[in-house]
Chains A and B, each alone.
Chain A
Amino acid sequence: MAIIEVEDLVKHYGDQRAADGVSFTVEEGEVFGILGPNGAGKTTTVECVEGLRDRDAGRVSVMGLDPAKDAAELRQVLGIQLQESRLPDRLRVGEALDLYRSFYRAPADPERLIESLGLGAKRKTPFGKLSGGQQQRLSIALALIGNPRVAVLDELTTGLDPQARRDTWDLIEQVRDSGVTIILVTHFMDEAERLCDRLAVIDAGKVVAVDTPAGLTARVSAEQRVRFRPSADFPDALLLDLPEVVKVERNGPQVVVSGSGNLLQAVASVLARAHIVAADLRVEQVSLDDAFVALTGKPAQP
């Protein structure tokens, strides 16, 4: 069931159309990514969904509520994590959660939230003394303190070190597993690939594609390549007979097999039956990065 529906959303800033007929739906319980180059209209789009900005045209429904009309009710069930939003430096972690908890009718248990976000030892630490990753986790905790059914997380891991990013990803998976629907705004391909069930690619205010990460890459090219060094020679026909295989090339001692579908499994089982060991086996796929460039004509990362 769709928990969020966006239809022909339009938002101008002066002459500029930040969102120009954006449409997508988000299913309950999924992680839905919004991917796009900087300035593509990602943040504008989610701000219209959150009711932080009024749209100029189109229809938006979040859990049956219209963000432009029912903003107060919507905020009870929608958790929002903003880019670059700080707290007063001297406000302590525990105090922040306790304060924000008082804003909601049916808040989450702050103790459990603090523990699950790994802030247990930081309860009394003021915001200004937290590391970037810890501030980000507190920010996520505040987005979840109202026990939301939908959480919107904007540029979640920008500016975090690699370990903190990975920890944050684990955390998002936990949140998803607890049943919260998540909209994830990002310009990181690895993040989208790892976390999103489906994603919308937005470019110049328009949705250019909505699909699963695998579906997006398949759209650009279904071709995969398997490379390996065989332990014994074999005729090309051995692999060309497989329906998955399109082409077999030899590159010195290396064999490069191109094809689609379950290519790796097909090739590996045939080789095993022929008692050939494939050394240095590698699968090359079109990455989400390649798909993104093909769809938008520009790289995602600035």
Chain B
Amino acid sequence: MSSLLKLIAVEARLFVRDPLSFALGLLLPTAVLLGLGAIPILREPSEDMGGARFIDYFAPSVIVMSVAVIGLTNLPAVMAGYREHGVLRRMRTTPVHPAKLLTAQLVVNLLASLVAVALVMAVGRLAFGVPLPGNPLGFAGAFVLGITAVFALGMLVAAVAPTARAASGIATVLFMSVMFFGGVYLPRFMLPDAVARIGDYVPPGVQSLLDTWNGDAPDGVQLLVMAAVAVAAGAAAARMFKWE
């Protein structure tokens, strides 16, 4: 087996073995959806929301949560910890470059996000009849750009933070912003209009997810912003990443 596949297999095992990353990353978003869905009024069409159901409206925010928890709490902490504890340094002593370990980490965290999102969609559909995205292609595009932007920010934190503790500190600020603007803490219709508009452009781009979920086309400018954040943060992370 090639060393990259082996690294991915090992990192996946370590992810699953860590109770925190497993519970928070994979299960928490679905648990939140289940918790809210258990409240009958949130499953009823509401006049406040123009006849829409809260649970349908909130589903994209739960997707934001899935991506943010893994990309902004797990990823930077693990990577910075690997540097702090000399795991990357030890890799440097072997014929395999530590960049492969980084790649494996990214792959595992992406896969975990996909599983978490799939779980949210499946449970939402089966338990509460939340429809699947009406514009699947648009949704997939918006999701890929959004998750790439969030992960690039996570990698940027991992690149500059000297320790796992520092990485968690910096990432928490980003995490809270992403969650706030993504409408996880307060549903976005309750946010001031200006804040909600800013939120359209904060990765992973909750409005594009909502639009495509409702079957509409995503907003081009929003997608462009996600791509720009992904490229800028990703390039900065690659430039600044310290192996020791």
Contact = CB atoms under 8 A, between A and B. Distances in A.
B3 A102 contact: yes
A73 to B, nearest CB: 8
Given A75-B95, A103-B95, A103-B96, A95 B13 contact: yes
Interface in B1-41: 1-3, 6-7, 10, 13-14, 17-18
Contacts of A88: 14, 82, 87
B86 A85 contact: yes
B93 A50 contact: yes
B95 A72 contact: yes
Contact of A82 (B14, B18, B86, B95): B86
A110 to B, nearest CB: 13
B87 A86 contact: yes
Interface string A141-157: 01100100000000000
B92 interface: yes
A76 interface: yes
Interface in B59-102: 82, 85-87, 89-90, 92-96
A52 interface: yes
A100 interface: yes
A112 interface: no
Interface string B119-163: 000000000000000000000000000000000000000000000
Contacts of B82: 88
Main secondary structure of the interface of B (DSSP, over half): helix
Nearest to A72: B95
A84 interface: yes
Contact of B90 (A85, A90, A105): A85
Contacts of A103: 3, 94-96
B95 A90 contact: no
Contact of A95 (B2, B10, B96): B10
Contacts of B93: 50, 52, 75, 79-80, 82, 143
B146 to A, nearest CB: 29
Interface in A79-99: 79-80, 82, 84-88, 90-91, 95, 98-99
Nearest to A96: B10
B109 to A, nearest CB: 14
B7 A99 contact: yes
Contacts, number: 56
Interface string A38-65: 0000000000001010000000000000
A104 interface: yes
B94 A91 contact: no
B5 to A, nearest CB: 9
A58 B3 CA distance: 34
Interface string B158-177: 00000000000000000000
A103 B93 CA distance: 11
A91 B15 CA distance: 11
Contacts of A75: 93-95
Contacts of B90: 82, 85, 87, 142
Contacts of A104: 94-95
A240 B56 CA distance: 105
A80 B92 CA distance: 10
Contact of A91 (B1, B6, B14): B14
B4 to A, nearest CB: 9
Nearest to B100: A103
Interface in A101-150: 102-105, 142-143, 146
Contacts of B7: 99
Contacts of B18: 90
B87 A99 contact: no
B86 A102 contact: no
Contacts of B94: 75, 100, 103-104, 146
A76 B95 contact: yes
Given A75-B95, A103-B94, A86 B10 contact: no
A88 B18 CA distance: 11
Interface of B: 1-3, 6-7, 10, 13-14, 17-18, 82, 85-87, 89-90, 92-96
14 contacts: A75-B95, A85-B85, A86-B86, A87-B90, A90-B18, A91-B10, A95-B13, A98-B6, A99-B6, A99-B7, A102-B6, A103-B94, A143-B93, A146-B94
